[in-house]
Amino acid sequence: MSSYISGVIVGFENTITEQMLGLNDPSKYIGVAPEATTVLYKPGDYFGCVMAFASLFPIALCWVLLTVFLCRRTAQDLWIGAGQVANEILNNMVKVIIKEPRPHSPVINLPEDSYGMPSAHSQYMGYFSAIFICETLRSRSTSTPRKIVRIAIVLVMSAMTMYSRYYLHYHTPKQIFIGYLCGNFTGVYWLLLIKLLRKVGLLSWALNLLPFRLMLVKDSDYSVEREYQDYKQVTMHKLKQN
């Protein structure tokens, strides 16, 4: 992701980090930094620490989506992941076209070619929330209270991620909200595109290709509830046989 600075762990005496990030006062900031990103906040600012971790929700969701696909091997999970990649490419393209700078930050001096419109984090969460809400509402095996709880959790995560980008001085409110809306539109139109490609048979053709057959990808809906009911039926059948 172009808005991330990779492979940097921020500490009080990290001179390499000081040179790479251009910290205005490196002795006053610490960071939350897995391999893929660095997020800075002031020591002692506990809310800032929470916001720093909230800013990493998109990174965590990347691993969640990958894990879900590896466990379920459904085509829908694969297409949704591909859509997220397309969403990220679109974000990078729009940033280069618009070239709107990030807001002034008291934390770091980002390079001039680090653009902020639209926010990649917000666009990621916009895409994910649109996909998740549409899929949750479409589910017939999930009760209404569970749907409400799941949607509420995703919306809270999105709101926290978006606010963290403002609180930590990485984006302006306009960049954040436009990024989220771009993600929403991308997610909805991607689902419509998947539906169209499935209708014309292109997705079925793709799944017959060798790479997808080796990955055991199947074009079927997955339901935890339905899988559990199937498990109960098989178990009861074995008990009756014994």
Q: Which DSSP letter does residue 103 get?
A: P
Q: Is residue 43 part of a domain?
A: no
User: Residue 60 sits in which domain range?
Assistant: 55-214
Backbone angles phi, psi at 133, to 5 degrees: -65, -45
Question: Does pTM surpass 0.85?
Answer: no
Supply angle C-alpha 27, 30, 33, rounded to 5.
145
> pLDDT tens per residue, the chain (242 residues)?
333 333 333 333 333 344 444 444 544 544 444 334 667 777 777 888 888 888 888 988 888 888 888 888 888 888 888 889 999 999 989 988 988 888 877 666 666 667 888 998 999 999 999 999 998 888 777 788 888 999 999 999 999 999 998 888 888 899 999 999 999 999 999 989 988 888 888 888 888 888 888 888 887 766 666 666 776 777 776 777 76
Q: Is residue 237 part of a domain?
A: no
Q: Is residue 9 part of a domain?
A: no
Of 241, 242, 2, the residue nearest 120 (C-alpha): 2
Query: CA-CA distance, 24 to 195, in Å (whole number)?
Result: 50
Number of structural domains in the chain: 1
Q: Is residue 113 part of a domain?
A: yes
Q: Is residue 199 part of a domain?
A: yes
What's the full length of the chain, in residues?
242
Taking the CB of residue 24, how many other CB atoms lie within 10 A of it?
A: 12
Query: CA-CA distance, 29 to 197, in Å (whole number)?
Result: 49
Q: What is the per-residue pLDDT across 180-193, written as a single tens digit (0 to 9) for each?
A: 999 999 999 998 99
Q: Which residues contact 208 (CB under 8 A, 6 or more apart)?
A: none
Q: Is residue 154 part of a domain?
A: yes
Query: CA-CA distance, 217 to 229, in Å (whole number)?
Result: 22
Q: Is residue 229 part of a domain?
A: no
Q: Is residue 126 part of a domain?
A: yes
> Cis link prior to 43 (omega < 30° from 0)?
no
Residue the block writes with tokens 């490609």: 197
